[in-house]
Amino acid sequence: MKKLAASWLALALCCLLLAPSALAAGRYPEKDHLPVDFADMAYTGYDGAALRSALAGLEEIAASPAIRTEDAGTRAEVESLYGRILSEVDQLSTQSALIGIRYDANGADQEAADESAALAELSVQLFDECFQTLALLADTPYQDILERDAGPEAVEQLRSYQALTDREAALYQEQERLVQAYDQTMAQPVQVTVDGRVWTEEALAQDQELDDETWWEIRARLERERNRAAGEIFLQLVRVRTEIARENGYDSYADYAYRETYGRDYTAENIQTVREAAKRYWVPLEVRLADAVSERELRSLDVRTRACGDGILDAVQPYMGRIDQELAETFAFMRQYHLCDIAPSESKLPVGYTVGLPAYGSAFIFDSPYGDHQDYATLIHEFGHFNETFHSAESDLWSSFHIDVGEIHSQGLEVLFTAYAEEMFGPEGGRAFYWSTISNMVSSVLDGCMYDEFQEAVYSDPDLTLEEVNRLFKDVSQEYGYPYEEDEEESYFWAEVPHTFQSPMYYISYATSALSALDLWLLSLEDRDRAVDVYLELAAMGMSRPYRETVEAVGLRDIFRGKTMRLLADGIQDRLAAETGERPGGGALPVKILAVAGGCAAAGIAVGALLGRQRRRRQTAAAEDPWEPF
């Protein structure tokens, strides 16, 4: 039996938090959006008294004879109490979001950290109490009140709901503490001493006189020190999460997360076929894409994209209406009420996400920018999440979290924006932005598979030492195209990816969704209007249905079927060949063929992986017909 409170906490720790929302006209359901500026959304905390009062009222009715027969007066009272419960849960989620934004904006300062941890602990308790109380309505004449919002499946789960044990509550509290410890560790500079001089990452970046060999040696030592500090926290998290999984009847946290946290309609076993296809056909494709854009084009792009905050918003906004008028209206609402913070700040944690503000019928975008063209892509990406969250009509108590679908909302908008790259950045910069977007999407496929395979392996053996974890990551990442020197036995940079700590087993959603987004992009090259319609249909569907079901419903290809993985890679390769004047139709070369193609290919892998390493620091039901190896 899925424990709803346990799943809620796991979702709350993810980089993307979702909640109710929507616009009153067109394809979306009606929903109120309060015209409140973000500056006026005060964090007041939440004590749970009003929510518990409503729960107590419902419990009193459930214990009385009135619950056994249909009565108009009783129904009105139950509906009123239920409405208060939903409203208070929205307040709880909104206050959690506001303190989370403050926490990230202020470098995980201690006051915000304490507030956030206390509210997270209270939230687990309150959601547990909600589910226990609402379960009392199951098998009564008033069951339909729940089914209206939650659906029959959730009511069925409530029938056998098990209250959170003290042991589970303690495990979730410890998990939150460790995640905060990771945030605070990453917010602090690391230092090493080399030849009597103390080095930090900032000092290394500013030094212009070091020779290359010394620079790389210091950089490697700083990376190892960061890995050591964060890695010890990770080992503790693995053990805590393994206990959470076992408390819920699972041997592995990976299986628990796939099923309970993310509600996927595919398993970790199913995804192995996608990983193998990615290694064989998508690793060499990433190399070719890395070679498609010259350094001169990238420099031209970065010159044209020297902007931040309102400058980026100004550049992106006109094109939303070119895709869809309702997108433009939602973007304008976001700007009018300052529902995004993408400005640079030294105090920000290095994260980017969208979070729901259900009490206001809205959402908020938070990002710590890079200062280059990636900031435009990030805004477009996050606005895809914002639009879905803004329009979702689900109550926050029952909100769905099929994140594989949610990431198509973001990545799909990115690929649709490639059509405007030249208008936004000129011919040379536009070409660089266009192919950088596609290249990053291909990297998302590989990153998603790589980190998922790594994390699954770690959680299958939770007693690994840090040295063994580093060796494991080196072995896995090497299969996905990362180059290493012959004497390198360990790899350390995995510890700089926040998802691994904050939302484990999330990363595969970047791969599944990127594959569908790329399928959408290929469709847009043949029929732009149809591709836009598919995207808008996806956005209107929200995240209420799981990945494979949703993709099938809108007519995109199933990545688990037949030769889909290779066909998608071939389609991208053919488009690149046509754009560069090469002979199309050659398809994506398998890794074994590419490996013997000569020194230039090997150099391309090294360059592609080095660029990818910088990019990847950002990123943050059984299949009926699985992919067949060739």
Q: How confident is the model at residue 207 (pLDDT cuts 50, 70, 90)?
A: confident
- Distance (Å, whole) CA 497 – CA 419: 30
Q: For the purposes of burial, counting CB atoms within 10 Å of the CB of 529, is it exposed (0-12), middle (13-18) or buried (19 or more)?
A: exposed
Average pLDDT of span 34-41: 98
Does pLDDT of 626 surpass 80? no
**Contact between residue 379 and residue 353 where contact means Cβ atoms under 8 Å apart:** no
Instruction: Give the three-class secondary structure for 109.
Output: coil
What sign does the dihedral 224-230-234-240 (CA atoms) show? positive
| Phi, psi for residue 392 in degrees, rounded to 5 | -65, 130
HEC per residue, 372-438: CCHHHHHHHHHHHHHHHHHHCCCCHHHCCCCHHHHHHHHHHHHHHHHHHHHHHHHHHHHHHHHHHHH
DSSP result, 7-74: HHHHHHTSS-B------SSTTSPP-------GGG--------HHHHHHHHHHHHHHTSGGGGS--HHH
pLDDT at 17: 32
Q: Is 103's pLDDT higher than 80?
A: yes
**Amino acid in position 85:** I
Residue 21: pLDDT band (50, 70, 90) is: very low
Half-sphere exposure for 193 (CA within 13 Å, toward CB): 2
Task: Report d(CA 121, CA 7) in Å as an integer.
Answer: 14
Averaged pLDDT score across all residues of the chain: 86
- Size of the chain in residues: 630
Provide the percentage of residues in the chain whose pLDDT is more than 90: 69
Q: What's residue 26's pLDDT?
A: 67
Token code pair at residue 58: 């419902």
The SS3 of residue 602 is helix
Query: Number of H helices and number of E strands within the chain?
Result: 26, 5
Asked if the model's pLDDT at residue 406 lies above 80, the reply is: yes
Residues 186-200, mean pLDDT to the nearest whole number: 88
Q: How confident is the model at residue 305 (pLDDT cuts 50, 70, 90)?
A: confident
User: Are the beta carbons of 516 and 409 closer than 8 angstroms?
Assistant: no
Query: Is the pLDDT score of 421 beyond 50?
Result: yes
Mean pLDDT calculated for residue range 394-401? 85
DSSP per-residue letters across 127-189 = HHHHHHHHGGGTTSTTHHHHHHHH-HHHHHHHHT--PPPHHHHHHHHHHHHHHHHHHHHHHSP
Query: Which residue is it, tokens 């009715």?
Result: 61
Distance of CA 381 to the CA centre of its chain: 11
Side by side, which strands form the sheet with 340-341?
Answer: 340-341, 362-367, 352-357
606 falls in which pLDDT band (50, 70, 90)?
Answer: very low
Does residue 22 surpass a pLDDT of 60?
A: no
pLDDT tens for 497-525 read 999 999 999 999 999 999 999 999 999 99
In tens, the pLDDT along 146-168 reads 999 888 888 998 998 888 899 99
Q: If you average pLDDT over residues 316-343, what whole number do you get?
A: 97
- Tell me the mean pLDDT in the region 87-112: 94
Name which of 232, 267, 460 is nearest 476 in CA terms: 460
| Residue 583 confidence class, pLDDT cut points 50, 70, 90 | low
Which residue's structure tokens are 């879905």?
Answer: 388
Cβ proximity of 309 and 287 under 8 Å: no
**Confidence at residue 19, expressed as pLDDT on a 0 to 100 scale:** 32
Count other C-beta atoms under 10 Å from residue 302's C-beta: 15
Contacts of 343 (CB under 8 A, 6+ apart): 308, 309, 369
Task: Answer whether 11's CB lies under 8 Å from 403's CB.
Answer: no
- The pTM assigned to this predicted structure is 0.84
Task: Collect all residues with Cβ–Cβ distance below 8 Å to 22 and sequence separation of at least 6.
Answer: 28, 29, 30, 31, 361, 390, 391, 392, 393
Sign of CA dihedral 390, 391, 394, 399: negative
117-131 pLDDT, tens digit per residue, is 999 999 989 999 999
Identity at 353, one-letter amino acid code: Y
Query: How does DSSP classify residue 624?
Result: S
pLDDT value at 565 more than 90: yes
Extract the tokens encoding 222. Answer: 């700083």
Output the six-digit token pair for 84: 């208060």
Structure confidence by residue, pLDDT tens digits, 279-297:
999 999 999 998 888 888 8
Could you please report the per-residue DSSP string of 564-629?
Answer: HHHHHHHHHHHHHHHHHTPPTT--PPPHHHHTTS-HHHHHHHHHHHHHHHHHHTT-----SSPPPP
- What are the beta bridge partners of residue 354? 365
With beta carbons less than 8 A apart as the criterion, state whether 433 and 455 touch. no
Joined tokens for residue 462: 């939770």
Mean pLDDT value across residues 73-90: 97
Of 4-13, 171-180, 188-197, least confident by mean pLDDT is: 4-13
| Rounded CA separation 176/170 (Å) | 10
- Is residue 608 within 8 A of residue 291, CB to CB? The reply is yes
